[in-house]
C-alpha cells in the first residue's frame, strides 16, 4: 500500500509515527506533504517517511490519502488537487468539515471516509471514530478499520454524531489532563515532589481508564467498588459533588460540541 499524509502537524505526525511503529507500513510507503517542500523534507526526516515536492505529486500514486490539515487549509488545498484525487480514497482527519463538503471541494470524484482520532494514536492507544460517506466502498471501510485498529481501537459511527465524538474523544484528553494537573498539584501541596506527584496522578487516571476498557464495567459501578463508606475516597468525592464537578465536565463537553458544530457551519 502507498499512503499519503497531507499535513504533518500534531495529528498527522501521530498518524505517521503510529503506522510505522505498529508495522502497518514502512517509511518508504508513506509520503508526507506539507505547505512547502522544505517543511515536507523536515517532517519526513523527523518521522522517517518520504517527502513530496508538492501536494499534487504526493497523491498521484497513493492508495489512501489522509487529510490532516486545518479546516481552512483543506478548503484552500483540495480544489487545487481535485484532478489528482479523482477515484482516490480520502480519509479525512479534519474537524468541522463534513464528507459532503469534501466531495464538493474535489468535484465529487473521490471516495471519502471521515475519521476522528485522538493523539494517543502515536502510542497505538487511540480511539478513532469512522464514518463512511456513501461514496466509500466496503473495501474502503475495511482498509480504514485496518489502519486505525492497528493504532488502537476503531468504531464506526454515523457522521451526524461527529460533533459530540469530537467533544468527548477529541477534546476529552485535554479535559482529563486538566484533572490530572489538579490531582498532581494536590499531591505537591501535600508534600510530594512534583515528578512523584505527577506519576501518581497519571497512574490514577490510567488505572481508571484501563479498568473501564478492560472490564467493560460502567464508570459508576467501578467507582462504587473502590469507594468505602466514610473512607478517604468518599470524603473527596463528596467535595467534588458539592462543587459540581460532573456539571462542569458536562458543560465543557457541550461547549466543545457546539464549537465543532460552528466549525462545520463556517464552511
Asked if residues 15 and 148 have their Cβ atoms less than 8 Å apart, the reply is no
Tell me the per-residue pLDDT of 113-148, one tens digit each, with 9 for 90 and over. 999 998 788 888 999 999 999 999 999 999 999 999
Query: By percentage, how much of the chain surpasses pLDDT 90?
Result: 88
Give CA separation, 23 vs 67, 139, 153, 203, 265, in Å.
21, 21, 16, 28, 38
Which pLDDT score, from 0 to 100, does residue 170 have?
87
Please compute the mean of the pLDDT values over residues 250-267 and round it to a whole number.
87
Round to whole Å and give the CA distance between 168 and 153. Answer: 15
Tell me the per-residue pLDDT of 169-202, one tens digit each, with 9 for 90 and over. 989 999 999 999 999 999 999 999 999 999 999 9
Which pLDDT score, from 0 to 100, does residue 263 have?
78
Query: By percentage, how much of the chain surpasses pLDDT 70?
Result: 100
Asked if residues 75 and 13 have their Cβ atoms less than 8 Å apart, the reply is no
Q: Is 207 helix (H, G, I), strand (E, B) or coil?
A: helix
Choose between 170 and 245: higher pLDDT. 245
Please compute the mean of the pLDDT values over residues 148-155 and round it to a whole number.
94
- Domain segments of the chain as ranges: 3-163, 170-266
Q: pLDDT band for position 262 (50/70/90)?
A: confident
DSSP for 117-137, written as a single string: --GGGGGT-EEEEEEE-TT--
Give the residue from 43, 48, 42, 57 showing the smallest Cα distance to 18. 48
**Domain 3-163 class, CATH top level:** alpha beta
Round to whole Å and give the CA distance between 58 and 195. Answer: 43
The CATH number for 170-266, chosen from 3.40.50.620, 3.40.50.720, 1.10.460.10, 1.10.3730.10, is 1.10.3730.10
Please compute the mean of the pLDDT values over residues 221-239 and round it to a whole number.
96
Which pLDDT score, from 0 to 100, does residue 267 have?
60
Choose between 215 and 96: higher pLDDT. 215
Asked if residues 148 and 130 have their Cβ atoms less than 8 Å apart, the reply is yes
Asked if residues 18 and 122 have their Cβ atoms less than 8 Å apart, the reply is yes
Amino acid at each position: 500500500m502507498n499512503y499519503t499524509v497531507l499535513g504533518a502537524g500534531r495529528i498527522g505526525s501521530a498518524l505517521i509515527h503510529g503506522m510505522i511503529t505498529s508495522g502497518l507500513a514502512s517509511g518508504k510507503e508513506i509520503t508526507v506533504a506539507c505547505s512547502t517542500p522544505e517543511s515536507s523534507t523536515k517532517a519526513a526526516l523527523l518521522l522517517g517517511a518520504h517527502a513530496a515536492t508538492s501536494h499534487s505529486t504526493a497523491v498521484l500514486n497513493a492508495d489512501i490519502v489522509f487529510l490532516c490539515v486545518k479546516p481552512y487549509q483543506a478548503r484552500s488545498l483540495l480544489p487545487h488537487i481535485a484532478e489528482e484525487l479523482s477515484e482516490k480514497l480520502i480519509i479525512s482527519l479534519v474537524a468541522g468539515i463534513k464528507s459532503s463538503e469534501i466531495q464538493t471541494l474535489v468535484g465529487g470524484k473521490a471516495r471519502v471516509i471521515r475519521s476522528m482520532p485522538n493523539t494517543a494514536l502515536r502510542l497505538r492507544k487511540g480511539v478513532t471514530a469512522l464514518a463512511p460517506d456513501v461514496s466509500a466502498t466496503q473495501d474502503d471501510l475495511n482498509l480504514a478499520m485496518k489502519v486505525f485498529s492497528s493504532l488502537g481501537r476503531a468504531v464506526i459511527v454515523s457522521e451526524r454524531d461527529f460533533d459530540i465524538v469530537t467533544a468527548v474523544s477529541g477534546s476529552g484528553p485535554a479535559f482529563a489532563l486538566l484533572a490530572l494537573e489538579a490531582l498532581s498539584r494536590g499531591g505537591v501541596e501535600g508534600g510530594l515532589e512534583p515528578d512523584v506527584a505527577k506519576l501518581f496522578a497519571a497512574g490514577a487516571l490510567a488505572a481508571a481508564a484501563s479498568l473501564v476498557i478492560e472490564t467493560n464495567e460502567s464508570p459508576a459501578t467501578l467507582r462504587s467498588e473502590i469507594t468505602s463508606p466514610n473512607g478517604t475516597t468518599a470524603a473527596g468525592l463528596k467535595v467534588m459533588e458539592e462543587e459540581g464537578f460532573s456539571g462542569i465536565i458536562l458543560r465543557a463537553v457541550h461547549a466543545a460540541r457546539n464549537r465543532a458544530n460552528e466549525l462545520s457551519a463556517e464552511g
